[in-house]
Amino acid sequence: MGAGQIKEAEDGFCYGGRPVKREPLGNGHINDTWCLWTVQKNGTCRRAVLQKLSRTVFPDPEAVMENVTGITEFLQKKLRETGGDAERGTLHLIPARDGRTFFVDSEGEYWRSYWFIEGARSLDRVEKPEDFYESALAFGNFQRMLSDYPAWTLRETIPGFHDTKARVAALEEAVQKDAAGRVCLALPEIQFVRERAETAGILETLRAEGKLPLRVTHNDTKLNNVLLDETTGKGLCVIDLDTVMPGLAVNDFGDSIRFGASTAEEDEQNLDRVSCSMELFEIYTQGFLKGCGQSLTETEIRMLPLGAKMMTFECGVRFLADFLEGDVYFKTSRKGQNLDRCRTQFKLVKDMEEKWDTMAAIVETCRQEIIY
């Protein structure tokens, strides 16, 4: 993307001052993100975040912005009413010059901008266990704060986002098409999925049977989607709201585990380094249950390990499908990265299968601590 296009987008928003500098920001796999420095009319500096939404990922960006606007306004109001930090506890959109919440450039790309949350950090790896605990509290709290959000007003920004069965079917389609000629490079991984394909619909069946309730969930609860206060270390603000939709609490739990409880990076090539840390699993469970404020049902709590396994499996399936399709969805910075990402996820799934009884016991202990 050319500098002219970014400049056009910068000029599309009301920053109350002049943008003077920008740098790429963060390690998200989806949107293009920059940090912008602006000089305000009174001479002070104020930073903003400028994002170009991924058109491949979000076919209806206006639906995304409708959700994001609704959720951020709801959270701002709730934080104000409950004495929370309405300034830094949630995102604040910056209006475009035409008054809308987004800007469309001359190439038809969608952009949005938020005020930068100062004095906060987002982590790509757990540095100390307390960070993971704080992120769990924040994601749990987020879900609790949205428990009375009018769920029916939310648009489905990515249809079937956590429909694991549909993800497996999409993978089989990618295998059939073999668009990038890479199927021969991923035969053991394809086999891994086929051996577990029958279990893919398990959470959806529990939902359909009424055993797992639909809630307003984040659906992308990676560690780097929460900001921690630089000074206090406390969970401050849940970000990346593009996939907030009705979903399952166990999936929000699970996605955090697959990323944050792993002992290695998501794209680690040495699989000996990859395992699911039971210490981090326990810490996250404690924080999440506390954050959710005892709102989870007994069945939901018991199904937390299943959420972890299924989200890890699903994510591996998605990385694999994208590898076979030629890396069109997740951003990559090197060849084979999506296959490496898939392999770490499957290594984690295997590890969870082996640690299943321990995971269940940890959850049971945490459940009893919460109830009694």
Q: Which of 138, 193, 238, 239 binds ligand ADP (CB under 6 A)?
A: 239
- Residue of minimal CB distance from ligand GN1? 29
Q: For the window 80-99, what string marks contact with ligand ADP as x by the rule CB under 6 A? A: -----------x--------
In sign, the C-alpha dihedral spanning 36, 103, 79, 26 is: negative
Closest Cα partner for 256 from 91, 89, 137, 127? 137
Give the chain's length.
372
State the residues that interact with Mg ion by CB under 5 A. Answer: 28, 225, 240
- 343 counts as binding ligand GN1 under rule CB under 6 A: no
- 315 counts as binding ligand GN1 under rule CB under 6 A: yes
Reading the block at residue 63, the tokens are 């639906």
Nearest CB to Mg ion, comparing residues 28 and 61: 28
57 makes contact, choosing from ligand ADP, Mg ion, ligand GN1, none, with CB < 5 to 8 Å by partner type, with ligand GN1
Residues sharing a CB contact under 8 Å with residue 285, sequence separation 6 or more, in sequence order: 136, 253, 304, 362, 363, 366
Nearest CB to ligand GN1, comparing residues 204 and 242: 242
Smallest separation (angstroms) from Mg ion to the CB of 33: 8
d(CA 111, CA 33): 10
User: b/e per residue, 294-318, with b = 16+ CB within 10 A?
Assistant: eebeeebbbbbbbbbbbbbbbbbbb
Three-state SS at 5: helix
Residues sharing a CB contact under 8 Å with residue 52, sequence separation 6 or more, in sequence order: 1, 9, 31, 32, 109, 110, 111
Compute how many residues bind ligand ADP; rule: CB under 6 A.
17
Q: For the window 29-48, what string marks contact with ligand GN1 as x by the rule CB under 6 A? A: xx------------------
Provide the pairing of β-strand 103-104 with 120-121: unpaired
Residues 171-230 that bind ligand ADP (CB under 6 A): 224-225
Q: Which of 10, 13, 15, 28 binds ligand GN1 (CB under 6 A)?
A: 28
Reading the block at residue 143, the tokens are 């879900």
Residues that bind ligand ADP (CB under 6 A): 25-26, 28-31, 33, 49, 91, 114, 116-117, 122, 224-225, 239-240
Residues that bind ligand GN1 (CB under 6 A): 28-30, 57, 220, 222, 225, 240, 242-243, 255, 266, 315
